[in-house]
Amino acid sequence: MPLILPLVLPLADEAATAALAAQLAARARPGDALLLEGPLGAGKSAFARAFLRASSGDPALEVPSPTFTLVQSYDLPTGPAFHFDLWRLDGPEGLDELGWEEARDGISLIEWPDRLGALRPAEALTLTLAPGPTETSRVATLTGWAGRLQGLGA
């Protein structure tokens, strides 16, 4: 089994974040989970929006924030996708009501994955976004998906 090291990528602006999202969307498969970590305003929702638009092939796809609904679902060419925002949850209680088990068959994007507790998928890709050196830049740190991230960011 290959050693899984974090991949650290500088992202100059939101367009660079969208480009990374498109590259990861092309690598995602049903059953995958992407755990989106980072402080408020780090770009988690912007990444999820770009990922879903790239996955759908529709750059104008309406992707509302699931902050209040907690989950939004999408029918993509590769199958269903689910965008979770778990900010308002205290823990994994209540995930069943959100369709967590059914969502695991599709592609799941999870903001605030620390709320998953023991339900955190071990095979997930963890994407941590942090503020970069300029107001519009970010630094992305990716861990997971062994063997699937070669050439990313190029």
User: Average pLDDT of 57-63?
Assistant: 91
98 or 19, greater pLDDT: 19
| Domains (range + CATH), the chain | 7-119+129-143 (3.40.50.300)
Predicted local distance difference test score (pLDDT) of residue 154: 56
Burial of residue 26, with CB atoms counted within 10 A of its CB: 0-12 exposed, 13-18 middle, 19 or more buried: exposed
Residue 131 contacts residue 38 (beta carbons within 8 Å): no
Predicted local distance difference test score (pLDDT) of residue 2: 47
The amino acid at residue 13 is: D
Residue 24 contacts residue 151 (beta carbons within 8 Å): no
pLDDT band at 92 (very low <50, low <70, confident <90, very high): confident
Which distant-in-sequence residues (6+ apart) come within 8 Å of 134 by Cβ? 12
The beta strands (E) that lie in 24-88 are given as: 33-37, 71-76, 79-85
Dihedral sign of CA atoms 130, 133, 134, 135 in order: positive
User: Average pLDDT of 36-55?
Assistant: 94
3-class secondary-structure state, position 118: helix
pTM over 0.85: yes
Task: Identify how many contiguous H helices and E strands the chain contains and give both numbers.
Answer: 3, 7
